[in-house]
Structure formats: structure tokens, C-alpha cells
Amino acid sequence: MSDNQQVSNAVAKLYNTYPFPPEPLLDEPPPGYNWRWNWLSAYSFCTGQKPHKQDIRILDAGCGTGVGTEYLVHLNPQATVVGIDLSEGALNVAKERTQRSGANRVEFHHLSLFDVEQLQGNFSLINCVGVLHHTSDPMRGIQALAKKLAPGGLMHIFVYAELGRWEISLMQKAIAILQGDKRGDYRDGVSVGRKIFDSLPENNRIVKREKSRWALENQRDENFADMYVHPQEIDYNIETLFELIDASGLDFVGFSNPGYWNLERLLGKAPELIERAENLGERQRYRLIELLDPDISHYEFFLNRPPLNKIDWSDNNQLLAAIPELNPCLSGFPASSIFNYDYQLVKLSEHQIEFMEACDGNSTVEDILTKVEFDIEKVKELQKQQLIMLSTF
């Protein structure tokens, strides 16, 4: 048996023992949203404009128990969704989950990332969250997925970061040492890990990190096992992350949590250092940020297979002719305080509310500005904040 197959078998055994994520099954659509799984919102974030097509194919690569898959179906009512996973146990939960909530535009296949070429056709959106770092060969995995991404398509990826998972890594190694020959018995691993935490002093660095970041979710054995007794994990830093990205042959669009990667939040009190950093390349700036703020435990980002037509809306005539719509991932509108696409609280002025209420998907910006007290620069601000999305059709 090859090393790759041994790793795949061990990972499948873990998730057959502890299907993940362990979210409850519902007899209705799941609450809330994740904008990264909404094609309209994700495409607008990446390009500045609404996509021309909504009847797309979406792949959830490493879907687990179908938590993300379920959102992908409900958030994209015109799309068809395919989910693949190594674990039959997790897939059985995914099938029940989607059936119970009415997410019926989905099909599941018992496949690894490495065998994704067996699926028919390409996909406009590929979601691969928390998967590549658990494979024996992430570069081969991302290359396999890249071959299934349609021209103009987007891939959203989530992988672990080594700096913010340092204490997790220490605990993983400690559990493995104490398990000895029992390594691979995941229930024993969870038992050993919990006994370690119960025994360590309260001021222990590993304990403090667990209590401050992970303890609530790790009350469930499925989460604890996924974090501390996983048989395969590869963590990244910016340098190794971009080696992975470069190996995909796709274009890096950007991080889907861009606020974290703003150097001014760290060095804003030292403008002379910001000025020095302007001479750095993009990747060097990212590396500097993670060194100065090493709490990040993962990277989440978009890749693209060209072409990807981006619009910055600096041309006022182009903007006036555009048709604005509300971002589909907003909560609480219309109101003076709403949650934006990223669940951040945003306060709106009366004029902003009035303009946004007029964004009916038919009227142009110019049409609306003749009826409400607003100006074109404020429209640009709404677009930059992802409160509205714009289209040229």
C-alpha cells in the first residue's frame, strides 16, 4: 500500500469514528450565511461586479458532514452542487443533513481530492475548506482541483497556519508520544488528550491557549479529535503557502479576510515604517504581518483560472450606468444598524438607507441619484464596503 493510500485510510478512519463537523441536523435551511459560499457575494468581492451567470456548478471538495455543502445549496438557488469526501460515515451524515433541510440540488461521491478527475465537467466555484492540509500531498491535491476549475471560476481555500497553531502542534505530539502503539485509536487519543489537559497547571501555555481560543468548541469529542489527534496535518507560513498556490497554476485573487492583512493596523503609529514597507513585495508584506501578529491560525483565500474581469468603478460614467443591488449577505436591513456581509455591525445614515432601498436590480445608479439625496462618491463607498454589488447588464 502506498504512503498516500495509508494516509487517506487513516484520515477516513478518523472521520468515520468522529464525523466532522458535528453540527446538528435541521429540518429547515441553516441559519445565517457565509458570504464566501454565496456565488454572488464571493464573485463581487473578487471582481467588483455581479457575475453574469448564476446557474453554475459548485464543488465542495472534502465536504465532511455537509455543513458547508448545505449552505452552498441554500445560498445559491440556481446552482447545482457536488460534494466529495473520503469518509463514508461523514457522507452518510451529509446526505441526511441536506435531505432534511431541503437542499436537494446536490449529489455526493465517495472520492478523494486526488480522484476528482472522475467527476464530469468543470466547476465555476470550488470550495475546499480545511482539507488540503490533511492530505498526504497538498500540492498534488490543489493541482487536481485546479484542473476542474472552469475558466473565470473561483476556488476558495482554507488551510492551517503554523504560527497560530503552535500550542496545538505541541499537544498533538505529546498525545502521539503517550499513545505509542495505540496511535490511530482515535477514541484513546481523545481520552489521553483530555487527561493531559486536566492534569496540566492552569498557567501552562498550552492550557491557556486552549481556554482562550478553542475550549468551547472542543467540548465535543469530534472537534477535539479533529484538532489534537488527526493523523495528518501540514501547517503553513506565508512562504510555504505561496509555494502551494504557485503549484496550483492558478492566479491568487486575495485573502478573504483582507482586514487582517492591512499593515497599518499594526504599524499605523509609525508612518516611516509604513513608508519602508511600500518597497516590499506583496508576499514580503504578508510575511511581515504574520510575524508581527502571529495569532493567525489559518489562511483563507481565493484563486482564479483566468480570465477574471475586475472593475474598480473609478470611471464615473461607467458607474452611473451600472445597476446596483444589495449584497445578498446582509442581515437586518433596512435599519440604521445592520450586519454586513462578514457579520460586522455597520451603522447606516438615512441617506445610505434611502439609496440602498432604491437598489432594486433594475434602476441604474444615475436613475437612483435623480431621486435620492446622495452622490457618486458615496456610492463608491457603499461598493467598497460590499454593501451593494454592481452590474453592467
Query: Are residues 213 and 176 both part of a single domain?
Result: yes
Closest CA to 12 of 87, 83, 72: 87
Answer yes or no: do 221 and 243 share one domain. no
Is the per-residue pLDDT at 161 higher than 80?
yes
pLDDT at residue 1 greater than cutoff 80: no
For 8-29, what is each residue's pLDDT tens digit?
999 999 999 999 999 999 999 9
Residue where one domain finishes, among candidates 260, 283, 304: 304
Which pLDDT score, from 0 to 100, does residue 282 have? 97
Whole-number Å distance between alpha carbons of 391 and 389 = 7
Domain count of the fold of the chain = 3
Which burial class, exposed, middle or buried, applies to 60 when counting CB atoms under 10 A from its CB (0-12, 13-18, 19+)? buried
Answer yes or no: do 283 and 336 share one domain: no
User: What does the block give as the cell for 122?
Assistant: 468543470
Q: Where does a domain end: 181, 208, 228? A: 228
277 shares a domain with 133: yes
More confident residue, 1 or 101: 101
Classify residue 294: in a domain, yes or no. yes
DSSP string, 194-233: HHHHHHS-TT-HHHHHIIIIITTGGGSHHHHHHHHS-S--
pLDDT band per the 50, 70, 90 thresholds, residue 3: confident
Together in a domain, 142 and 182: no
pLDDT of residue 2: 83
Domain boundary among 304, 337, 363: 304
**Mean per-residue pLDDT for 200-214?**
98
DSSP string, 175-198: HHHHHGGGTT-HHHHHHHHHHHHH
Task: Verify that 86 and 215 share a domain, yes or no.
Answer: no
Instruction: Establish if 272 belongs to a structural domain.
Output: yes
Instruction: Kindly report the number of other CB atoms within 10 A of residue 7's CB atom.
Output: 18
pLDDT in tens, 354-369: 999 999 999 999 999 9
393 assigned to some structural domain: no
The residues with which 79 forms a beta bridge, in sequence order, are none
* Percentage of the chain exceeding pLDDT 90: 99
Is 309 within a domain?
A: no
- Cβ–Cβ under 8 Å, residues 285 and 263: yes
- Going along the chain, which residue ranges are E strands? 57-61, 80-85, 106-110, 123-129, 149-160, 251-255, 298-304, 323-326, 337-339, 345-347, 388-391
Question: pLDDT tens across 65-120, in order?
Answer: 999 999 999 999 999 999 999 999 999 999 999 999 999 999 999 999 999 999 99
Residue 319 dihedral angles phi and psi, to the nearest 5°: -65, -40
252-279 per-position pLDDT tens digit: 999 999 999 999 999 999 999 999 999 9
> Are 267 and 298 found together in one domain?
yes
Instruction: Flag whether 320 is in a domain.
Output: yes
Is 311 a member of any domain? no
Query: 244 and 283, same structural domain?
Result: yes
CA distance 309 to 51: 10
In a domain, 375, yes or no: yes
Query: CATH number for the domain including 268?
Result: 3.40.50.150
Q: What is the pTM of this model?
A: 0.97
Domain co-membership, 287 together with 357: no
279 phi and psi angles, rounded to 5 deg: -85, -5
Contact (CB, 8 A) for 190 and 224: yes
310: in domain: no
Are 156 and 272 members of one domain? Answer: yes
Residue 391: phi, psi to the nearest 5?
-135, 160
Residue 350's domain comprises 316-383
Instruction: Check whether residue 249 and residue 151 sit in a common domain.
Output: yes
Residue closest to 207 by CA, chosen among 234, 170, 233: 170
Q: Are residues 57 and 143 in the same domain?
A: yes
40: three-class secondary structure by DSSP: helix
pLDDT score, position 136: 96
Grid look-up 504512503 returns 3
Q: How many CB atoms lie within 10 A of CB 340?
A: 18
Cα separation, 334 vs 251, in Å, equals: 37
Contacts of 112 (CB under 8 A, 6+ apart): 8, 84, 86, 135
- Tell me which H or E stretch contains 51: none
